[in-house]
Amino acid sequence: MRLTFWGLFLSIAALIGMAAEADFVTNARQLTFEGKRSGEGYFSPDGSKLVFQSERDADNPFYQIFALDFTSGDTQRISPGVGKTTCAFFRPGADEVLFASTHHDPKARDKQKEELEFRASGKERRYSWDYDEQMDIFAATTDGKNLRQLTRSLGYDAEAAYSPDGQWIVFSSTRGAFPLDKLSAADKKKYEVDPAYFGELYVMCADGSEQRQITDWPGYDGGPFFSPDGQRIVFRHFNEEGTIADVYTVKRDGADRQRVTDFKCMSWAPYYHPSGDYIIFTANKHGFENFELFIVDAAGKHEPVRVTTTDGFDGLPVFSPDAKKLSWTSNRNSDRKSQIYLADWNDAAARQALGLAVASSGGASTTTGTQRAGSTQITAQDARAHVETLASDEMEGRETAGVGAQKAAAYLEAELRRAGAEPLSNTFLHPFTFTAGAKVGPQSSLALLSPDRTDYPLEKDFRPLAFSDSGVAEGEIVFAGYGLKVPGRLGEGYNSFAGLDLTNKIVVVLRYAPENVDPARRQELNRYAALRYKALQAREHGAKAMLIATGPNSPGAGELISLGSDAANSGSGIIAGSISSNVLQQIFALAQKDMKVVMSALDSEDPHVETSFAVPSAKLRVQVELERIRKTDHNVIGKIEPASPTGKYVLVGAHYDHLGRAGHGHGSLGAEGAIHNGADDNASGCATVLELAAYFAANRAALQGAGVIFGFWSGEELGLLGSSAFAEQLPVATSNIVAYLNFDMVGRLRDNKLSLQGIGSSPQWRAIIEKRNVPAGFNLTLQEDPYLPTDTTAFYSKGIPVLNFFTSSHEDYHKPSDDADKVNYEGVERITKLAAAMIRDLTAPGARMEYAKVEAAQTGGARDSLRAYLGTIPDYATEVKGVKL
Confirm whether 25 is domain-assigned. Answer: yes
- The torsion defined by the Cα of 684, 658, 552 and 499, in degrees rounded to 10, comes to -80
Strand 462-464 relative to strand 575-579, pairing: antiparallel
Q: Are residues 575 and 697 in the same domain?
A: no
Reported as a pLDDT band with limits 50, 70 and 90, residue 370 is very low
Reported as a pLDDT band with limits 50, 70 and 90, residue 828 is very high
Nearest by Cα to 187 from 203, 172, 174: 174
Say how far apart CA 106 and CA 331 lie, in whole Å: 34
Say how far apart CA 437 and CA 791 lie, in whole Å: 21
State the pLDDT at residue 667: 59
Strand, coil or helix: 601: helix
Instruction: Give the rounded distance of the alpha carbon of 845 from its chain centre.
Output: 29
By percentage, how much of the chain surpasses pLDDT 70?
89
Nearest by Cα to 782 from 330, 334, 310, 328: 334
Nearest by Cα to 654 from 804, 818, 863, 438: 804
Whether 622 shows a pLDDT value over 50: the answer reads: yes
Q: Are residues 221 and 343 in the same domain?
A: yes
The H-or-E segment that residue 413 falls in is helix 403-419
What is the average pLDDT across 244-272? Answer: 96
Q: Are residues 426 and 490 in the same domain?
A: no
Whether 60 shows a pLDDT value over 80: the answer reads: yes
Instruction: Give the rounded distance of the alpha carbon of 486 from its chain centre.
Output: 17
Which of 577, 600, 624 lies at the terminal end of a domain, its last residue?
Answer: 624
| 597-604: long-range contacts, CB 8 A cutoff, minimum separation 24 | 599/551, 599/552, 599/553, 602/481, 602/482, 602/510, 602/514, 602/551, 603/514, 603/515, 603/516, 603/517, 603/551, 603/553, 604/514, 604/516, 604/517
> DSSP states of 517-569 as a string?
S-HHHHHHHHTT--HHHHHHHHHHTT-SEEEEE--TTSTTTTPPPP-TT---S
* Neighbouring C-alpha atoms within 13 Å toward the C-beta of 351: 15
Confirm whether 5 is domain-assigned. Answer: no
Say how far apart CA 477 and CA 452 lie, in whole Å: 14
What is the average pLDDT across 790-815? Answer: 94
Neighbours of 799 (CB within 10 A): 12
> DSSP states of 709-760 as a string?
EEEEES-STTTSHHHHHHHHT-SS-GGGEEEEEEESS-S--BTTEEEEE-GG
Burial class for 243, CB neighbours closer than 10 Å (0-12, 13-18, 19+):
exposed
Strand, coil or helix: 383: helix
CB proximity list for 339: less than 8 A, separation 6 or greater = 30, 31, 32, 33, 37, 38, 39, 329, 330, 331, 333
Q: What angle do CA 301, 306, 312 make, to 5 degrees?
A: 145
Q: Are residues 427 and 454 in the same domain?
A: no
Say how far apart CA 739 and CA 843 lie, in whole Å: 10
Order of strands, sheet of 339-345, starting from the edge strand that comes earlier in the sequence:
25-30, 339-345, 325-330, 314-319
Strand 649-655 relative to strand 737-743, pairing: parallel
Determine the number of helices (DSSP H) and then strands (DSSP E) in the chain: 15, 45
Strand 49-55 relative to strand 626-640, pairing: unpaired
The H-or-E segment that residue 471 falls in is strand 471-480
State the pLDDT at residue 366: 39
On average, the pLDDT of the chain sits at 88
Residue 514 DSSP symbol: -
**Cis peptide leading into residue 682 (ω within 30°):** yes
Which of 569, 594, 624 lies at the terminal end of a domain, its last residue?
Answer: 624
Q: Are residues 330 and 403 in the same domain?
A: no
Order of strands, sheet of 136-141, starting from the edge strand that comes earlier in the sequence:
85-90, 96-101, 136-141, 148-149
- Per residue in 169-222, pLDDT (tens digit) is 999 999 999 999 999 999 999 999 999 999 999 999 999 999 999 999 999 999
Q: Are residues 561 and 681 in the same domain?
A: no
**CATH number for 201:** 2.120.10.30
Q: Are residues 313 and 460 in the same domain?
A: no
What is the average pLDDT across 829-834? Answer: 97
**Cis peptide leading into residue 179 (ω within 30°):** yes
Q: Are residues 620 and 755 in the same domain?
A: no
Confirm whether 862 is domain-assigned. Answer: no
State the pLDDT at residue 748: 97
Strand, coil or helix: 202: strand
Neighbours of 698 (CB within 10 A): 14
Which of 591, 624, 657 lies at the terminal end of a domain, its last residue?
Answer: 624
Confirm whether 364 is domain-assigned. Answer: no
- Per residue in 755-775, pLDDT (tens digit) is 999 999 999 999 999 999 999
Cite the DSSP H helix spans in 616-739: 685-698, 721-728
Say how far apart CA 837 and CA 825 lie, in whole Å: 19
Neighbours of 157 (CB within 10 A): 26
**Beta carbons of 497 and 612 less than 8 angstroms apart:** yes
Reported as a pLDDT band with limits 50, 70 and 90, residue 492 is low
Reported as a pLDDT band with limits 50, 70 and 90, residue 128 is low
Confirm whether 861 is domain-assigned. Answer: no
Residues 257-281 as b or e (16 or more Cβ within 10 Å = b): eeebbebebbbbbbbbbbbebbbbb
Q: Are residues 344 and 403 in the same domain?
A: no
**Beta carbons of 297 and 354 less than 8 angstroms apart:** yes
Confirm whether 824 is domain-assigned. Answer: yes
**Beta carbons of 455 and 484 less than 8 angstroms apart:** no
CA distance readout (Å), 627 to 401, 535, 561: 19, 20, 18
Reported as a pLDDT band with limits 50, 70 and 90, residue 732 is very high
**CATH number for 734:** 3.40.630.10
- Per residue in 780-801, pLDDT (tens digit) is 999 998 988 799 999 999 999 9
Is this prediction's pTM over 0.95? no
Domain that holds residue 216: 19-354
- Per residue in 178-188, pLDDT (tens digit) is 999 999 999 99
Confirm whether 13 is domain-assigned. Answer: no
Regarding predicted confidence, which is higher, 436 or 516?
516
Beta strands in 165-242 (DSSP E): 168-173, 200-205, 212-213, 221-226, 232-238
Reported as a pLDDT band with limits 50, 70 and 90, residue 607 is confident
**Beta carbons of 476 and 619 less than 8 angstroms apart:** yes
Q: Are residues 399 and 323 in the same domain?
A: no
- Per residue in 374-403, pLDDT (tens digit) is 334 899 999 999 999 999 999 999 999 999
Q: What is the chain's length?
A: 885
- Per residue in 837-879, pLDDT (tens digit) is 999 999 999 899 999 998 753 333 222 232 223 333 333 233 2
Q: Are residues 462 and 407 in the same domain?
A: no
**CATH number for 590:** 3.50.30.30
Number of domains composing the chain: 3
**Beta carbons of 614 and 478 less than 8 angstroms apart:** yes
Q: Are residues 214 and 308 in the same domain?
A: yes
Amino acid at 69: D
Confirm whether 121 is domain-assigned. Answer: yes
Beta strands in 37-146 (DSSP E): 37-43, 49-55, 64-69, 75-77, 85-90, 96-101, 136-141
Cite the DSSP H helix spans in 273-335: none
Whether 708 shows a pLDDT value over 50: the answer reads: yes
Nearest by Cα to 296 from 314, 280, 276, 316: 280
Say how far apart CA 155 and CA 133 lie, in whole Å: 4
* Neighbouring C-alpha atoms within 13 Å toward the C-beta of 463: 19
Whether 364 shows a pLDDT value over 60: the answer reads: no
Say how far apart CA 392 and CA 676 lie, in whole Å: 10
Strand, coil or helix: 609: coil
CB proximity list for 590: less than 8 A, separation 6 or greater = 451, 477, 615, 617, 618
**Beta carbons of 383 and 399 less than 8 angstroms apart:** no
Strand, coil or helix: 516: coil
